[in-house]
Amino acid sequence: MNNYDIKKDFHILKDITYLDSGATTQKPVQVINAIKNYYENNNANPHRGAYKLSIKATDVYDEARKKVSQFINARQTNEIVFTRNATESLNLIAYSYGMNNIKKGDTILLSIMEHHSNLVPWQNVCKKNGAKLEYMYVNNEGLLYEEDICKKIVPGVKVVGITQVSNVLGTINPVKEIVKRAHQVGAIVVVDASQSVPHMKVNVQDLDADFLVFSGHKMLAPLGIGVLYGKRELLNKLSPFLFGGDMIEYVYEQETTYAEVPTKFEAGTQNVEGAIGLSAAIDYLNNIGMNDVQKMEEEILEYAMSKLLKLDFITVYGPKDLSKHAGVISFNVNGVHPHDVASILDSNNVCIRSGNHCAQPLLRYMGLDSTCRASFYIYNTKEDVDKLIESLNKTRKVFEKWMK
């Protein structure tokens, strides 16, 4: 299957050039149909009713969990907790692990390129518990560098938060090495895989990540379903995050015992539709094969980079070495504000993102106010890139007379 065949499964892409998959991806008919089929044939409240339909709903929900666990090679199915999105997964870790284990004098270490969702919750933990928050910084290409990594991961660091791929610069971080070093000093590692799991083979056992999170909606699945992977022994020790129905074992007037992991972390009626959609999305990706997914994106990235670098009015940010660069490109049209670029591209039906991409500390550190971001997925073709380039030339024309 090539990206032209793939594109046919995404009806919304008929007339638009969609280059904002880093924000959320479009959905193929296979995923939309799986959700439709669930409501037409299997819908009930799982875990509750004592009737066949409810058992069916429970089964499909559990199957989705198994599918996810295999997709990232977890040891056990119950190491997968369903959440609303990566942000909720990270909050779960920050509250249930961070608030209870991080003490005054401890250090939480993040990379400066973390998305606000892997930064603000830890800032909150540090403020409440009196811990220190430190950062691993990047060089001018947006790459973490070994010297700084070694200097920062030292005894006293209790949590390391690291994104596997930067949603701003596309940087692929050396997560495996960071985990190894962090474990040597007794820290746990929280991997934000929001921009990696959709695009490359991710193996939690190989990475030896303690926690790893991602959102379904960035990998062809519907909005509102997210994943938290945690090592079994860690999840067992965590206290619950949200309390209420389903997450309990026995409830007395003054005391409650909780259900086993992962149910302990899934309070209230769950987003079964989302889990079904995510399961169908994984089938879709597996059918292509994650190696091919990655290869297709590499090809598009290479093509886009070669075209962009030829435009003398564009500044491109991020790693020059494309083996450390995923399918996300941040750039600026010199002298033109990114919002204006996005509007002019939009008039050509080219969708890109502009702004600070929920990573203000990174942009500030790099001395940038905001950038344009084009991000690619399996349905993007060379023609999409050509349309981007053509629209950037149009932008240049509109502004040319006024550039100083």
Partner 1 sequence: MDEVESVYTDIIMEHSTATYNKHELGNGAVKEHGHNPSCGDDITLEIIWNGDLIEDLAFTGSGCAISQASTSIMIDLLKGKTKEEALNLINIFLRMIKREDITEEETAKLEDAIALKNISNLPARVKCAELAWYTMEKLIEK
Ligand X SMILES: Cc1ncc(COP(=O)(O)O)c(C=O)c1O
For residue 22, the minimal CB distance to partner 1 (Å) is: 17
Judged by DSSP in three states, 211 sits in strand
Cα distances from 309 to residues 304, 312, 329, 386, in angstroms, run 8, 7, 11, 13
Residues that bind ligand X (CB under 6 A): 85-87, 115, 117-118, 163, 167, 192, 194-195, 215, 358
For residue 358, the minimal CB distance to ligand X (Å) is: 6
Residues 6+ apart with CB under 8 A from 180: 208
Q: Rank residues 117 and 371 by Cβ distance to ligand X and give the closer one.
A: 117
Q: Rank residues 320 and 339 by Cβ distance to Zn ion and give the closer one.
A: 339
With CB under 8 A as the contact rule, the residue among 356, 361, 382, 386 that binds partner 1 is 356
The residue number with the shortest CB distance to Zn ion is: 339
Q: Rank residues 177 and 346 by Cβ distance to partner 1 and give the closer one.
A: 346
The pairing of strands 107-111 and 132-136 is: parallel
Category of 237 on φ-ψ map: left (φ > 0), alpha (ψ -120 to 50) or beta: alpha
Residue 402 engages partner 1 in binding (rule: CB under 8 A): yes
For residue 192, the minimal CB distance to partner 1 (Å) is: 22
319 contacts 397 by C-beta, under 8 angstroms: no
Which helix (H) or strand (E) element contains residue 18? strand 17-18
Question: Which residues are 228's β-sheet partners?
Answer: 81, 213
Contacts (CB under 8 A) with partner 1, residues 363-392: 369-370
Residues annotated catalytic, as ranges: 358
Q: Rank residues 86 and 392 by Cβ distance to ligand X and give the closer one.
A: 86
Cα distances from 12 to residues 27, 285, 353, 375, in angstroms, run 8, 19, 18, 17
The 327-366 contact track toward Zn ion, x by CB under 5 A, reads ------------x---------------------------
For residue 1, the minimal CB distance to ligand X (Å) is: 26
Judged by DSSP in three states, 353 sits in strand
Residues that bind partner 1 (CB under 8 A): 336-340, 342-344, 346-347, 354-356, 369-370, 398-399, 401-402, 404
Residues that bind Zn ion (CB under 5 A): 339
